[in-house]
Structure 1
Amino acid sequence: MRFVAIIVLSLSCVYPALLLAEVATPSIVEICASNGPGAPQVIERHSLGFIVEEEGFLLTSYESLTKPETGTLLSRFEVSWDSGTGTSRYAARIIGVEPTLNFAVLKIEREGGFAASKILRDDSLVAGEEIFAATQANAVSTHLVVGRLEALNSKECYQQDLTATMLAAEIDIPSSGIGGPVFDRTGSVIGMFTGYHPPEDDDDQANEAELTHILPIFLAFNIYDSIKQRQSLASPWTGFSVRPLNEVERRQFPVAQGQFTGGIAFEYIWESSPAAAMGLAVDDILLRFAYYPIHSPADFQKWLYLYGVGRTVKLYILRDGEILVKEYTIEERPSWVKPL
């Protein structure tokens, strides 16, 4: 994190230069994606990203790493990073991606020494606070837009309702900011701009469509380590979305001689899905995923991604006081399944 010369672009607010000089930025990089070796290197995509570990792991937009015509991943990536004393360029490789949430993990091909961005905890977010997003970063200046966080996410599981898991903000981030961090005045990252827009034909979300939607950093970090370890290139899918237990459901525990002390509930089941084929139902409670107790949607997301597509697991379900065990081989999320 560093303090830089700031050029702020805003249609709604003008800030005193003295205050702008106090804005810190995360460890932002520029990424060029192109085709593979053995052919003329034509840069197909430009995007921003931000370093999250000193070893050179960074986050950016998944779509920014794909060929525009086909949506297939490009194979050559160059990262430009300003250390404060000058801009350096490094090759990078893909570690893992999450296509549904539209983010990717890259690793810079150098042994550490990078400044890592500060990540803000989810319980530190406050609606109404001032936020910033980068639209360009180089050794001379960082161009920012400024706005205000309007609403926090209302759901923790993105599988069925992606819009509800996003932060909503009054901030005008241009396409050049895709893949970059959204952060507060201290430079602490609250989210990433992926270019997401709610479905235009959803009348219930008409007002939401007027706001800018930001992927919460804590949602990305729920599965970041799992994606990095698994090196996953696909979205795992079960055919259900989940929610925390309500107060009535929590009063059922512990169950089965104290073996299970909590869980999460199924909120939505897709027709013609693996969950439907297993006979799962809305309001069933997921107690355990493979060998691991599940007490929150974050627990479920972590283990789903760590096991990944192709692995077979047992799901332990509570229904009307009875424990059910279902075996499931994790599938890749099909193209016809689109969250709202």
Structure 2
Amino acid sequence: MRKLQFIILLFCLWGRVCCAAEAVVPVIPTMVTVCARTGADVAEDSTVLRRSLGFIVEQEGFLLTTYESLTVPETGTLLPRIEVQLSSGAAQQAYRARVIGVEPTLNFAVLKIESDASFEVSTILGDRELLPGEPIFALTQADRPELHLVSGRLQSLNSKECYQQDLTATMLAAEIEIPSSGIGGPVFDGTGAVIGMYTGYHPPEDEDEHLDEEAELTHILPIFLAFNIYDSIKQRQSLASPWTGFSVRPLNAMEQQQFPIAQGKFTGGIALEYIWENSPAQAMGLKVDDILLRFAYYPIHSPADFQKWLYLYGVGRTVKLYILREGEILLQEYTIEERPAWAIPQ
């Protein structure tokens, strides 16, 4: 009897191991290799200066990759010819692509494959909540053209929604080692759903003082943040980072009690969390804890709203900012500026 129980126990343990093994074999999302060339035409002296990964997000051929992988290292200008290679089994197909828009601060870019074909789209994480400790995966291309899978686990979620001042806090942190050959590629869960993109971002050294010296964390751009401004960048075809000189946060419970105000015209807003010195916000006299009610014609109820409309209007457009301060509504007019090089978020 004991021998039978022992055999049954072994069977159960073996089943658990098999299930666990199956759980960590991920579905691979649709991948592309992006090649940025020096010459505008193949007939010219055209060499691949930059190479990265990317992933398709619309069947018409729109895809995401990193901005820096499309630029000349010394000058930061966009390289004249962009090509993408799609792999399907042993076969590879190359296409010309054009830059639709970029976000230099977040280091991501939107490309469009120049073809009327319909392309397989990567699955994007939906409403499922990410959990610290869950397994995650990424692909690298160290030995081209083969892709290599790397795995790890999600360590922590982002603590802020607005990256304007604190970029590190808006990133996912993970215990996963992704080499430079994985830059631009998606980071995904076991179902193949993309949760973020590896942009090669490294926080300033002092940001990492609290981390275990034996396991430096990898920072990943959350897909929700990229998609929050994706449509705005695509529609605006923006090639610059717009900014106002302030970052924002959701309202706390006490601030929410002030609404509705002005005969119900304003039902919420977001609070200013940080004001850059020598910035447009400082020049306008804005203050920390001011509440932004409306951006141009649009009510603002979340940091995502603010970032979406900031990019949709873009550099050079003049907008009206409706500000609540100590019960009084203030109106400020602002022509959106490009983020200067000195105002890089931490």
- Please report the TM-score for the alignment, with normalisation by the length of structure 2: 0.90
**Which residue of the partner structure matches residue 74 of structure 1?**
79
**Which residue of the partner structure matches residue 56 of structure 1?**
61
**Which residue of the partner structure matches residue 32 of structure 1?**
35
Q: Name whichever of 73-82 and 20-29 sits farther off.
A: 20-29
Cα separation, 1, equivalents of 2:196 and 2:210:
21
Equivalent position SS for 1:229: helix
1:200 to 202, 205, 213: 205
Cα separation, 1, equivalents of 2:222 and 2:117:
26
Cα separation, 2, equivalents of 1:171 and 1:297:
28
Instruction: Write out per-residue CA displacement over residues 301-333 of structure 1, whole angstroms, 9 at most, x where no aligned residue.
Output: 110000000000000000011110000000000
**Contact 1:146/1:171, CA 8 A, preserved across alignment:** yes
1:23, CA displacement in angstroms? 1.8
**Which residue of the partner structure matches residue 46 of structure 1?**
51
Identity of aligned residues (%): 73
Q: Does structure 1 residue 88 correspond to structure 2 residue 87?
A: no
**Contact 2:138/2:187, CA 8 A, preserved across alignment:** yes
Q: CA separation of 1:203/1:110 partners in 2, compared to 1, >3 Å: closer, same or farther?
A: closer
Q: Does structure 1 residue 339 correspond to structure 2 residue 345?
A: yes
1:59, CA displacement in angstroms? 0.3
1:86, CA displacement in angstroms? 2.5
Task: Output the amino acid matched with 1:218.
Answer: F
Q: Does structure 1 residue 293 correspond to structure 2 residue 326?
A: no
1:100, CA displacement in angstroms? 0.2
1:70, CA displacement in angstroms? 1.6
Equivalent position SS for 1:336: coil
Cα separation, 2, equivalents of 1:148 and 1:252:
41
**Which residue of the partner structure matches residue 7 of structure 1?**
none
**Which residue of the partner structure matches residue 230 of structure 1?**
236
**Contact 2:39/2:47, CA 8 A, preserved across alignment:** no
Task: Output the amino acid matched with 2:114.
Answer: E
1:241 to 238, 243, 247: 247
**Contact 2:24/2:135, CA 8 A, preserved across alignment:** no
Instruction: Write out per-residue CA displacement over residues 142-163 of structure 1, whole angstroms, 9 at most, x where no aligned residue.
Output: 3110000000000000010000
Q: Considering only CA atoms, is the larger Rg found in Structure 1 or Structure 2?
A: 2
- Gap runs ≥5 in structure 2: 1-17
1:58, CA displacement in angstroms? 0.3
State the aligned residue count: 327
Q: 5 Å matches for 1:298-317? A: 298-317=304-323
Cα separation, 1, equivalents of 2:334 and 2:20:
58
- Gap runs ≥5 in structure 1: 1-14
**Which residue of the partner structure matches residue 70 of structure 2?**
65
Let me know the Cα RMSD of the aligned residues: 2.3
Q: Does structure 1 residue 129 correspond to structure 2 residue 113?
A: no
Cα separation, 2, equivalents of 1:273 and 1:331:
10
- Please report the TM-score for the alignment, with normalisation by the length of structure 1: 0.91
1:101, CA displacement in angstroms? 0.3
**Contact 1:230/1:308, CA 8 A, preserved across alignment:** yes
